[in-house]
């Protein structure tokens, strides 16, 4: 009888411990998800918020370019000028400065994958603008 009672008390103690751990983990997961949600500002947005058009011009001077691309098509000029700052920067570094995505990633302090994504999105936008005349 005594042994049975001890077993049952042990079950309760074990379950209480399990509950404490489970609740604690759930709390941690929730708070982590919350903080991730708050911090999850895309790099592109941050850059655009911080970078004014004057800064952008300064950046072009800093990297030693007197002027930007020599566009043959006017539509492309318009489309390029409407690109977000980060995409513009990535495209310029890739095609004008002939930098590799890896070098760009190091320069910008971001992942190489991010550079590929920016390039892909920028080219998609430019193609769309040239085909349909839709700039953005």
Comparison of 11 and 111: residue with beta carbon closer to another protein: 11
Q: How far apart are CA 107 and CA 105, in angstroms?
A: 5
Candidates 1-9, 45-53, 72-80, 103-111 — which segment interacts with another protein by CB under 8 A?
1-9
Question: Exposure string (b/e) for 64-94, b if CB count within 10 Å is 16 or more?
Answer: eeeeeeeeeeeeeeebbeebbbbbbbbbbbb
CA distances from 134 to 57, 88, 109 (A): 25, 17, 32
**Three-point CA angle 17, 19, 24, nearest 5°:** 100
Pattern 29-48, another protein, x by CB under 8 A: xxx-----------------
Within 3-32, the residues that bind another protein by CB under 8 A are 5, 8-9, 11-12, 15-16, 18-20, 22-27, 29-31
Compute how many residues bind another protein; rule: CB under 8 A: 19
Residue 55 interacts with another protein (CB under 8 A): yes or no: no
Interface ranges with another protein (CB under 8 A): 5, 8-9, 11-12, 15-16, 18-20, 22-27, 29-31
């Amino acid at each position: 009888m005594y042994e049975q009672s001890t077993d049952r008390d042990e079950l309760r103690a074990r379950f209480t411990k399990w509950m404490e751990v489970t609740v604690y983990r759930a709390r941690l997961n929730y708070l982590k998800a919350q903080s991730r949600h708050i911090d999850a500002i895309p790099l592109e947005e941050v850059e655009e918020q911080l970078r004014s058009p004057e800064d952008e011009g300064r950046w072009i001077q800093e990297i030693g370019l007197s002027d930007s691309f020599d566009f043959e098509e006017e539509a492309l000029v318009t489309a390029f000028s409407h690109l977000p700052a980060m995409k513009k920067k990535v495209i310029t570094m890739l095609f004008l400065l002939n930098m590799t995505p890896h070098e760009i990633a190091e320069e910008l302090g971001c992942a190489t994958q991010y550079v590929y994504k920016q390039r892909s999105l920028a080219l998609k936008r430019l193609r769309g603008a040239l085909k349909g005349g839709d700039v953005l």
